[in-house]
Structure 1
């Protein structure tokens, strides 16, 4: 039965991920894998594995949560575009440069490939051998010293002529001399055999003895002829290998060059080699221009991984993604437009993500994506582990500011209480520890502060970004205003957006200061909240939610 392939579906939150984005992706991966394992699998179907990834670096609050529950954060994926490792399934085993041309040919026929990779003992690529190289060795090489020049191993000769070693050491190589076919009488033979030669002969005792006396390195006795003990003894004493084969002299003469090691004919200069992590977009033009059928693929440490051909570019499988906690293209992982989105689970307004086919979308007006994931566990009757419960509860605490946010619903509170019970968690104490960790901004750069929780939004032709910093330390937030104001304009220019806002949210007072950059930012802000900013800042009383209280106002003003 053919071995089942493993197909990966990635689960990703948004760029500049917050605690909900990370924890929901991790929990959903756990849920999906448990559902998959519980189902009766089709014996012919490929195995699907769900893997959480992140589209940015962790903020301090999320780091605290990861440490609190002793879990490893999802792997960082910089770009979601299709990589070579996603589309090439040719894991053709590499071969040693010492194997014979005949063995290489047999291998090519067995695996139905026209090119083989040659690697060293550590798996590093040394060169390539193709059917063209083998044809050239057979049709264009007439030098009878070629076995010595190529340092042909005796074992290759034995294998090629399907022979048996009667004397000598199979590990040795031909290092000198030429190939001689001995069919004449001994007087003539003596004049043609030199020390180190490989001699092909028949069953004549005197011819065999003559070859030994002339210090041949190898004698090949054809037609399955018997070799006397005397000949074997003399050969052993003289360091000469004796090989017996059932083939006749003509067949052995034809086969002998096929014993040459492929390293002698391999292509090792100017190889076109790709890294398995390279993006298909970056290499497909090279593949189309080169007149090569197969291209070797290596790992990041230059070990051979397999082959890729132009055929792999036809109907290639794109990475598959489930998006959690977002559905805006500008917020998604880089390269998301080059992937296949199979599902979206979110609690924000519907955004700009486009899909190539219908997908499952679960979008609920709750305060946190983790609440939806909790519901999915219950609906599928899957037990929630203590660790997953802790992660989901942490996400709800973070997104709802421990139920202070106007986005919080009774369902969020109910889910958090159930999850805290499973995790054995004191929500109040855990929330204080989380928010304290996230409020530690002293050692952070301006860029780290802005992007620890930052999202882009688009309305018509206008694009704006909103960052948010939540803290329980009002004094620290006040200092942050003066520190961040000069930075916002350069950040807006770098992001190539029209306006940029940063909410500085005081969890205890349930108010936010907003600072901004962009020509129209002050005007839209003053009209939207009916408050004129002073010195580049405005106090928004009772505003703690970017999703429910700030962004809708901005979107409404832009659409007016």
Structure 2
């Protein structure tokens, strides 16, 4: 039975507790109500608060994914069998003709040694003017036997053609043959005793007797004594001479330098240019250990199976995991303002004005009459408490509070006690650098051509926030702006329901003063009553920009 393709349920970059918990809970719901394989993922590092929640309820963190673009492994990879470098050109041609393959790999113990194409074989046949080709390519007699349908009369089939040997046709009389037969040569001849004897006396490496002519015992005895092999073939001299060069092993003609190979983890967007420039039909694909697994056809790009994604807790491209424009978005479950994300096909889009995405997920469990187990209840309840700052945020609605209380009952937790422990775990910043704190919950926005980013940290400890502010301000002043014109950071005191906001960027101070109608310091402003980035801060900044 074919395994269904994974559908990734994923939140925004720099995920908060809601982003992680709603992804896990919604993937769990989808697996119960639909025929599919839904897998929660995360697009950033897990915060201390979120890790506390996951550990408390014994749930593993979703695996990290930093790009959802289509990869080679998402495309049909042809399981093209490999050839051996010892195989003759003739057998390789027959194999490729019968399998209708234009290019085939040469593999040894799983490792790619080279590739051979029909063009390479044709070129080898047309360009062979070197009479010593069998010696140069270290061809075994077994290859010659196979190619000319021969029988070994004298000698060992596994021996290699002597290094100095060239291919000759014994059409001349013995007197002339003496002048151009040299040690190690391969002489193609008929049933002429004199020619065979001359070749042995001149130390030829091999005599090929055509038309199945019998070889006398005297010649066989002399050949053995002089280390001269004898092969009998049913073909005439012309056909034998035509075929014998096709016994050359593939290893001599295969392309082994500067091979164009791809990894199964390569992104199609990164390799498309190479495939267009290098006009091969097929390219070898290797796994992470460098082992050959198949061939990627140019035609396969027409049948790409893009990654399938469900977005939770965001709907803006700037906040989405990298490569989202290449993925197939199936659903969006969110509680934020509508962004600028475009989809190639219609999607299921659920957006409600509540304080938390997990509240929406909880409602969907009820609508689908799916029982909520204690672990999922604990995750969703924690997400609601986090996003609404334990119902203190202006984004909190009666629906959020009712959902959290119902979920807390299922999870068997006390809301007040659990929230305080969760917030304290999240506000423990001693082990984090200012950069880690800044990007822990950072989102980008834009309006009227102005791009800005807003980060936020919440804490129960007023002293900790006061000590953190100058460190954050210094980091912001010296950091890369990440394609934004201005950056803001809210240090939110949960107990006092206020925020100290640090800003940086041209005109940032004027914008903040216009947005909040209060004078600002050199790089910060105190905002009493402001605890919500989504409902209290960003809308005012956007309004000021538009004015």
TM-score, length basis structure 2: 0.82
Task: Output aligned runs, 1:315-464, within 5 Å.
Answer: 316-382=304-370, 384=372, 387-425=375-413, 427-464=415-452
Residue of 468, 479, 482 corresponding to 2:467: 479
**Is 1:293 equivalent to 2:277 in the alignment?**
no
Residue of 544, 550, 556 corresponding to 2:531: 544
In 2, distance between residues paired with 1:95 and 1:382? 54
Q: Kindly state the Cα deviation for residue 8 of structure 1 after the two structures are TM-superposed.
A: 4.3
Matching residue of 1:11? 9
**Is 1:183 equivalent to 2:171 in the alignment?**
no
Q: Any idea what SS the aligned residue of 2:541 has?
A: helix
Runs of at least 5 residues in structure 2 that lack an aligned partner in the other structure: 164-183
| Number of aligned residue pairs | 523
Matching residue of 2:206? 197
Q: Any idea what SS the aligned residue of 1:494 has?
A: coil
Task: Output aligned runs, 1:81-230, within 5 Å.
Answer: 81-87=69-75, 89-123=77-111, 125-141=112-128, 145-153=132-140, 156=143, 160=147, 174=161, 177-193=184-200, 194=203, 196-197=205-206, 199-200=208-209, 206-207=215-216, 210-211=219-220, 213-215=222-224, 219-222=230-233
Q: RMSD between aligned alpha carbons?
A: 3.5
Tell me which moved more, 353-362 or 55-64: 55-64
Tell me which moved more, 390-399 or 248-257: 248-257
Structure 1 residues 502, 102: closer, same or farther in 2, change over 3 A?
A: same
Structure 1 residues 12, 262: closer, same or farther in 2, change over 3 A?
A: same
In 2, distance between residues paired with 1:65 and 1:212? 88
CA contact (8 A) 2:154 2:230 kept: no
Runs of at least 5 residues in structure 1 that lack an aligned partner in the other structure: 40-47, 224-246
Q: Any idea what SS the aligned residue of 1:373 has?
A: helix
Task: Output aligned runs, 1:529-540, within 5 Å.
Answer: 529-534=516-521, 536-540=523-527
Structure 1 residues 67, 460: closer, same or farther in 2, change over 3 A?
A: same
In 2, distance between residues paired with 1:349 and 1:251? 79
Q: Kindly state the Cα deviation for residue 468 of structure 1 after the two structures are TM-superposed.
A: 0.7
In 2, distance between residues paired with 1:73 and 1:470? 22
In 2, distance between residues paired with 1:304 and 1:385? 44
Q: Any idea what SS the aligned residue of 2:332 has?
A: strand
In 2, distance between residues paired with 1:179 and 1:5? 57
Q: Kindly state the Cα deviation for residue 259 of structure 1 after the two structures are TM-superposed.
A: 3.7
Tell me which moved more, 328-337 or 527-536: 527-536
Task: Encode CA deviations 1:250-301: one digit per residue, 9 max, x unaligned.
Answer: 7666554444321111012233334444444444333333343333333454
In 1, distance between residues paired with 2:509 and 2:430? 28
Residue of 265, 269, 291 corresponding to 2:257: 269
CA contact (8 A) 1:145 1:179 kept: no
Task: Output aligned runs, 1:464-543, within 5 Å.
Answer: 464-491=452-479, 494-534=481-521, 536-543=523-530
